[in-house]
Amino acid sequence: MTKLEEQIEDYLRYIQLERGLSNNTVLAYRQDLLEFLTYLTENEFKTWPTQATDIDAFLAYEKDQGKASSSISRLISSLRKFYQWMARQNIQKLNPMIEIDPPKKERHLPVALSVNEMERLLEQPDVDTKLGIRDRAMLETLYATGMRVSELTNLTEDNIHLDLKLIRVLGKGSKERLVPISDLALKWLETYNEKVRDELILKSGKYNDYVFLNGRGGKLTRQAVWQLIKKYCLLAQIDKDVTPHTLRHTFATHLLENGADLRVVQEILGHSDISTTQIYTNLTQKHIIEVYRQTHPRN
């Protein structure tokens, strides 16, 4: 075992025994540090690099090998902590990691359903059944308001203002916002309230103020909502990767595609920073290009 390998093993023993890190975390550090050591050996380094340019060369090599930004970030974090430990142990005082910045996080475009896919999804619940009516009302509400699933499951009866066609939503950080809701979604909410909700409460024998209830009359959980959405996506033959935010993304994308102002969408979604909302403009730009190609006579 070389001296550099021994130092890595000493560090791994330290983080496991003295800092109490889990086996999985220690294995991750081991993988990162041995990867670094392999690179150094192949490039004939005899000691740990002290120049930031050498670290940058290693990170560039890893990126060329196809490493994702998240993996590069983890490598940087592992090396930073390792160099800090070496400085405390008087193994090496010069720390090149102080000059290394983590890579910018990649922002993946959210998946959104097309209008046709959304319509197919909405039609999947069997509205001849009580729970089918509840599920249709739930899907219509999500698509009509763009609210988060956690906001939907925490929605209470006094949050819905039928006369004003508004819903009061309690968002992140307990911030309240008023969100408009469509006539169609309101119709399904009223149908659910009249035909289903009271029966579910009677079944539980205990009143609660939450709008959407499970089959036993208790509060519907976030996990249950997304299991239902996955089920209905399967029935609708939607093969996109539907995540907990897909209907929220779809809501925002469809509004912007139809000419909604970005600031208005920001307010409805409850984003504190407009840059969070601007990610949807990339999706609508794609839509604009597709429409142009389909409709321009010279294409």
pLDDT for 1 equals: 77
Catalytic residue among 134, 136, 148, 249: 148
280 is a catalytic site residue: yes
Is the pLDDT confidence value at 299 over 60? no
Q: Which domain, by its residues, includes 16?
A: 3-99
Q: What's the mean pLDDT in 281-289? A: 63
Single-letter code of the amino acid located at 41: T
Catalytic residue among 30, 203, 271, 286: 271
CA gap 102, 87 in Å, rounded: 21
222 is a catalytic site residue: no
DSSP annotation of 101: P
Domain count of the chain? 2
pLDDT for 283 equals: 60
The token pair at 144 is 């009509």
Judgement on whether residues 138 and 72 belong to the same structural domain of the protein: no
pLDDT for 284 equals: 61
Catalytic residue among 130, 245, 286, 287: 245
108 is a catalytic site residue: no
Is the pLDDT confidence value at 160 over 60? yes
**Which of the four pLDDT bands, split at 50, 70 and 90, describes residue 242?**
confident
pLDDT for 32 equals: 95
- Tens of pLDDT, residues 26-85: 999 999 999 999 999 999 999 999 999 999 999 999 988 888 888 898 999 999 999 999
**Which of the four pLDDT bands, split at 50, 70 and 90, describes residue 123?**
very high
172 is a catalytic site residue: yes
Judgement on whether residues 34 and 145 belong to the same structural domain of the protein: no
Residue position matching structure tokens 């008087």? 90
Is the pLDDT confidence value at 102 over 90? no
DSSP annotation of 156: B
- Tens of pLDDT, residues 178-224: 999 999 999 999 999 999 999 999 888 888 899 999 999 999 999 99
What is the arrangement of strands in the sheet containing 160-161, beginning at the earlier edge strand? 160-161, 166-170, 176-180
296 is a catalytic site residue: no
Dihedral pair phi/psi, residue 57, rounded to 5°: -65, -40
- Tens of pLDDT, residues 247-265: 999 999 999 888 888 888 8
Judgement on whether residues 73 and 138 belong to the same structural domain of the protein: no
Judgement on whether residues 208 and 284 belong to the same structural domain of the protein: yes
249 is a catalytic site residue: no
**Residue 107, domain member (yes or no):** no
Judgement on whether residues 149 and 214 belong to the same structural domain of the protein: yes
**Residue 157, domain member (yes or no):** yes
pTM over 0.75: no
CA gap 162, 164 in Å, rounded: 6
Query: How many CB atoms are located within 10 Å of the residue 238 CB?
Result: 21
Judgement on whether residues 121 and 93 belong to the same structural domain of the protein: no
Catalytic residue among 172, 175, 240, 263: 172
Catalytic residue among 136, 248, 249, 254: 248
Judgement on whether residues 133 and 19 belong to the same structural domain of the protein: no
Is the pLDDT confidence value at 13 over 70? yes
Using a 10 angstrom Cβ sphere, with 0-12 exposed, 13-18 middle and 19 or more buried, the burial of residue 14 is middle
CATH of the domain at 87: 1.10.150.130
